[in-house]
C-alpha cells in the first residue's frame, strides 16, 4: 500500500519480481504458472548473473486473489528464490 492507496480488487496490471537460481531454463519454468492461470503477459524482462536470474513480469487481467495464488505457486517452484508482487491500475 502506497500513500494509503489500496491495490484494486478487480483486474489490474500486476508486476511480479522474481529472483531465481541462475539456470538456463529459469524463465521457462517461471512462465508455466502464468500459462496455467491464463495470464496475459504484457512485459517480460530477465537478467542473469552468476549468482541469480532476475525476472520482471507484468501481466494484465488478474484480480488480487488470482495474483496472490500465482505468487504462491511461483514461490513453490524449486528454481525460485523469492517473489515480490506489485500492481498498477489500468488507465
Number of H helices, E strands in the chain: 2, 4
Please tell me the pTM assigned to this model. Answer: 0.84
* pLDDT tens for each residue of the chain, 91 residues long: 445 555 566 567 899 999 999 998 999 999 999 999 889 999 999 999 999 999 999 999 888 899 999 999 999 999 999 999 998 766 5
Domain residues for the domain of 82 are 12-88
Kindly state whether residue 6 falls inside one of the protein's structural domains: no
Indicate which CATH number applies to the domain containing 63. 3.30.70.260
Q: What is the dihedral of CA 23, 77, 57, 68, to 10 degrees?
A: -170
Structurally, the chain folds into a number of domains equal to: 1
Amino acid at each position: 500500500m502506497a500513500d494509503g492507496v489500496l491495490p484494486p480488487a478487480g483486474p489490474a496490471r500486476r508486476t511480479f519480481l522474481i529472483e531465481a537460481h541462475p539456470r538456463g531454463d529459469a524463465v521457462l519454468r517461471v512462465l508455466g504458472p502464468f500459462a496455467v492461470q491464463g495470464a496475459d503477459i504484457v512485459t517480460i524482462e530477465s537478467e542473469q548473473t552468476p549468482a541469480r536470474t532476475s525476472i520482471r513480469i507484468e501481466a494484465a487481467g488478474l484480480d488480487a486473489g488470482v495474483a496472490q495464488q500465482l505468487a504462491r505457486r511461483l514461490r513453490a517452484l524449486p528454481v525460485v528464490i523469492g517473489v515480490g508482487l506489485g500492481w498498477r491500475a489500468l488507465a
